[in-house]
Structures are given as structure tokens and as C-alpha cells.
Structure 1
Amino acid sequence: MAKVLIYGSRLCPYCRMAERLLEKKGIQAEKVMVDENSARRDEMTRRAGRTSVPQIFIGETYVGGYAELAVLERTGQLDAMLNSCERNIRDE
């Protein structure tokens, strides 16, 4: 299964929308709730260069937030990214 990481918060509707989109594809993302852990928020900011949530990574590839994830889905690129990530995990 493709490794997906979502930095989010408990009250963020866009975080929930991202999770639901991925769940429809059979992906259970690892969730890091940055409102519960300031060190993880700092980690997110360093990795993504942004302070808003969600911030989404597929494998080591930074996707962006929900809007960017939705564009990948609409253009058919999300499945390719998820499949590529899954192949890389199997090959390791």
C-alpha cells in the first residue's frame, strides 16, 4: 500500500476531505495531528514550507494541501502517484 502522510488538525474540514478522498481509493493515510504536538507542527513547517493544514506527502513526494490533492485526482495523476509509490515500497 502506498505510504501517505497527512499533517492535519482535528477541526480542519479540508483534512477530513483529504482523508475521505484517499479512503475511497483504499488508502489509510498516517495522520499527524499538529494541533496536539508543536514539535510535529515545526516538522511539518520545515518539510512543507507552510503552516496551514493539511499538508500531504505521498511517499517522499510533497503534494501540498487538499486543493492540490483534488487537482491530482481530477487530472488522473493521483492514481499514478499512488501506484508508483506502492511499486517503490514493494521494490525496497
Structure 2
Amino acid sequence: MPEVVIYLTRTCPFCNMAKRLLDGKGVSYETIDIGNDRDAWAALEEKTGRNTVPQIYVGEHHVGGFDDLSAADKSGELDRLLKG
């Protein structure tokens, strides 16, 4: 299974919803809290073109935010990504 990484902040409700969705699927993931790190936030924004959290990666694939993750789950794309 590819590595799953969630860039988040501790106070973000969508970040918590993304973690719950992945927990419900039994997926292990790494969290990177960028809430107090302006340089990390700027680097993530440059990498993704987005300035919101969460930002979720499955391996090298940028899934996007929670809405993108939820849509990928509903369409079956998330399961395909997790299989590698």
C-alpha cells in the first residue's frame, strides 16, 4: 500500500473528517501539522496550488482536500490508489 500523508492543522474540522474516513477504511497515514509553520504552509501551497487544508497524498498522487477524498472514496478511485 502506498504511503498516505495528510497535511493539516489541529483545528481544522475537514482534516478530522479526512482522518475519520481513512480510519474507517483501516488506512494508516502520516499527519503533518503545518498550522504554526508558515514556511511549510507556503511550500505546500506552491506544491499543490491550494491554500487550504487538508491536502492528502496517496503515494505521489495528490488527491486534494476532504471533498476530493470523499469523492474518490465514493467513486472507487481511492481504493484503486490505495492498492498501488
TM-score normalised by the chain length of structure 2? 0.92
Partners of 2:36 and 2:2 in 1: CA distance: 25
Partners of 2:66 and 2:17 in 1: CA distance: 7
Identity of aligned residues (%): 38
Give the number of the structure whose alpha-carbon radius of gyration is greater: 1
AA of the residue aligned to 1:26: G
Map residues 77-88 of structure 1 onto 2, 5 A cutoff.
77-84=77-84
After the TM superposition, which segments of 4 or more aligned residues of structure 1 sit over 3 Å from their partners? none
Q: SS of the residue aligned with 2:73?
A: helix
TM-score normalised by the chain length of structure 1? 0.84
Which structure 1 segments of 5+ residues have no match?
85-92
Tell me which residue corresponds to 2:49: 49
Deviations 1:30-55 (A, max 9, x none): 11111122221122111111111111
Does 1 or 2 have the higher relative contact order (CA < 8 Å, sep 6+)? Answer: 2
**Paired residue total:** 84
Tell me which residue corresponds to 1:69: 69
